[in-house]
Structure 1
Amino acid sequence: FVARANGAAIKTIGVFSQPEWSAIVVPADSTITDVAQLKGTKIAATKGTDPYFFLLQALNQAGLSLADVEIINLQHADGQAALARGDVDAWAGLDPIMATTEAKDGAQLIYRNPDFLSYGVLNAREAFLQESPELVDQVLACYQEARQWIKDNPEDAAALLAKEATLEPEIATTVLTQRTNVDVPLVPGDPQRAVLETILPTLVAEGQVRSEEEARTALESIYDTTFAERASS
């Protein structure tokens, strides 16, 4: 979305998952148990990413704003390391790092809300969509087949993820079977648009898009449902 808002000729053509890949994480021995208690704390987050936008929405829901906390802008792995060292009070986590520190360090997830997270989507250049529609159809057909296989074979899918991503089997199982919903419509539309609509003002305020007008134009034109509708029929 940010790329399209800044002039890239790309479209979102399919949705393959609704992952719960972020939450607000605190150390095992933290006394913080809810978002409201984050006032006055240091929070590690990677600006411009889904965990960052998740954090902003969580703060807003709790009646807080960025002025009430100190954001330490770190890459995801560095954010987890800062949390483990005690350099920050909380971290806007990202799986599988989040699931790993939860299992190995006893880190606590004090706030979870899948509705505040974006979806796993497929994007493509508009030129490619025009030049190679048959290949696009094949890609979406493969995704549909893979999603069905994951639903039918969750244990095998978790084992495959563990092998390919070099994860502990229990971490892969948590990420794939407990925090990733692949049973979502392939066709993009209102649910995905609603998430982007929510974070759009933040993108504008932080200068991550060139203008609000261009961002709203991008939001209205980002989805091409033709291929997903064909693959779903």
Structure 2
Amino acid sequence: MIIYVGILLGVLSGADLYARQLPSELSVDYAPYNPLSLVLKKFNWLENEFNGDDVRIRWVFSPGSDSALKSLKADSANISSSASLSSVWSKASGNPIKAFYVFTRAEWLSIVVSHDSPIRSVKELRGRRVAATPGTDPYFFLLRALREAGMHKDDVVIVPLTHREGRAALELKKVDAWVGGVPYSTSSQLENGFQVIYRNVLFNSDGFLNVSEDFANNYPQAVSRVVKVYERARRWALSHPDDLEAIFADEAKVPLPIARGVLSKFDFSNPVIEKNDIRELKDASPVLKDEKLIGQDTDLDKVIAELIDTSFVLRQLAPVSGSM
């Protein structure tokens, strides 16, 4: 009898352990700069994936990388989307996160001025008011553009506004320039005649999915299954570009021509954080120290190494690779 009870308890303990491999609720963000997240939300693919496991999906809106990473830190989101350099900055600032998936590589940034502005170059921004959201890729893009022009952030007046607020401020001429991200920058050019004074595809970060270290350690199965569903969305996006444009236009509340223009600059071909992506991050990250956004003794190579975790996506891709 004692043996049977022991076996029964072992079975129950195993079942309980398996149940704890998934949370009761999974909070995932959706963002206008992450088209794949809009696809997942539209088709309820995450809900369907976890439907039989009694896991509730809660969607959290991220207007920018800064809010996405704050949501992770506050445990109000489990999975969030951000620009890769924003992830490095957040990690270096003490946010215990892992970046595990590339949702896009894109040219999604530019510095714009109003249609009648006399400003034609980054150097002419000296002493001017420039709108950008701290902690986001547009903000870091501005810092790198200024440094390339031999300037620093103190040479301009950075007005901390959200992407939408930045566009509105430039429309009302409350600022002289705005560092815009998609879809707002593209729509502003077509609808308001804003002029691009600076573009640099090399200064654009990748789009990363991030997860808190605690969540990844406690619920690795959940993270793996999020990757599985993201892979479904990525493959769907590659094979249904017209439908993707329609979904993006609807969810991001922009006209179809703008959605088409935005998505033409997005690359969904490879979800793995590769050596080249890491090299680009190492090239970009010194601006965080140079502009005193993190401690001067921060070991950025170590931060990046501890940030990146490709194990989830590589496990998901392994069966595909093995079957070829």
Flag whether TM exceeds 0.5 (same fold).
Answer: yes
**What is the aligned partner in structure 2 of residue 218 from structure 1?**
303
Q: 1:179 is matched with which residue: 226, 249, 265?
A: 265
Which amino acid letter does the alignment assign opposite residue 108 of structure 2?
A: W
RMSD: 2.3
Q: Take 1:55 and 1:3, find their aligned partners in 2: how far apart are those partners? A: 18
**SS of match in other structure, 1:213:** coil
Given the alignment of the two structures, is residue 230 of structure 1 paired with residue 315 of structure 2, yes or no?
A: yes
**What is the aligned partner in structure 2 of residue 133 from structure 1?**
220
**SS of match in other structure, 1:127:** helix
Given the alignment of the two structures, is residue 37 of structure 1 paired with residue 152 of structure 2, yes or no?
A: no
Given the alignment of the two structures, is residue 190 of structure 1 paired with residue 275 of structure 2, yes or no?
A: yes
Q: 1:86 is matched with which residue: 173, 176, 186?
A: 173
Q: Give the TM-score normalised by the residue count of structure 2.
A: 0.64
**What is the aligned partner in structure 2 of residue 113 from structure 1?**
200
Query: Pairwise mapping of residues 6-21 of structure 1 onto structure 2 (< 5 A)?
Result: 6-21=93-108
**SS of match in other structure, 1:53:** helix
State whether residues 282 and 300 of structure 2, in contact with CA within 8 Å, keep that contact through their aligned partners in structure 1. Answer: no
Q: Give the TM-score normalised by the residue count of structure 1.
A: 0.87
**What is the aligned partner in structure 2 of residue 64 from structure 1?**
151
Shift of residue 58, structure 1, vs aligned partner: 1.4
Instruction: Structure 2: state its 5+ residue gaps.
Output: 1-87, 319-324
Cα 1:73–1:99 change in 2 (3 A) is same
Q: Take 1:129 and 1:196, find their aligned partners in 2: how far apart are those partners? A: 22
Q: Take 1:209 and 1:232, find their aligned partners in 2: how far apart are those partners? A: 35
Q: Take 1:226 and 1:49, find their aligned partners in 2: how far apart are those partners? A: 26
Shift of residue 205, structure 1, vs aligned partner: 5.3
State whether residues 43 and 88 of structure 1, in contact with CA within 8 Å, keep that contact through their aligned partners in structure 2. Answer: yes
Q: Take 2:134 and 2:220, find their aligned partners in 1: how far apart are those partners? A: 35
Q: Take 1:39 and 1:81, find their aligned partners in 2: how far apart are those partners? A: 22
Q: 1:203 is matched with which residue: 288, 295, 298?
A: 288
Shift of residue 216, structure 1, vs aligned partner: 4.5
Instruction: Structure 1: state its 5+ residue gaps.
Output: none
Deviations 1:37-61 (CA, angstroms, capped at 9, x unpaired)? 3334322222221101101111222
Q: 1:163 is matched with which residue: 239, 247, 250?
A: 250
**SS of match in other structure, 2:150:** coil
User: Using CA pairs below 8 Å that are at least 6 residues apart, which structure has the higher relative contact order?
Assistant: 1
**Which protein has the larger Cα radius of gyration, Structure 1 or Structure 2?**
2
Q: Take 1:103 and 1:67, find their aligned partners in 2: how far apart are those partners? A: 31
Shift of residue 214, structure 1, vs aligned partner: 5.7
State whether residues 114 and 194 of structure 2, in contact with CA within 8 Å, keep that contact through their aligned partners in structure 1. Answer: yes
Shift of residue 215, structure 1, vs aligned partner: 4.7
Q: Take 2:212 and 2:147, find their aligned partners in 1: how far apart are those partners? A: 35
Deviations 1:145-186 (CA, angstroms, capped at 9, x unpaired)? 21121121111101011222222222222222x222212x32
Which amino acid letter does the alignment assign opposite residue 111 of structure 2?
A: I
Q: 2:182 is matched with which residue: 88, 95, 98?
A: 95
Decide which moves more: 64-73 or 51-60: 64-73
Which amino acid letter does the alignment assign opposite residue 47 of structure 1?
A: P
Cα 1:20–1:9 change in 2 (3 A) is same
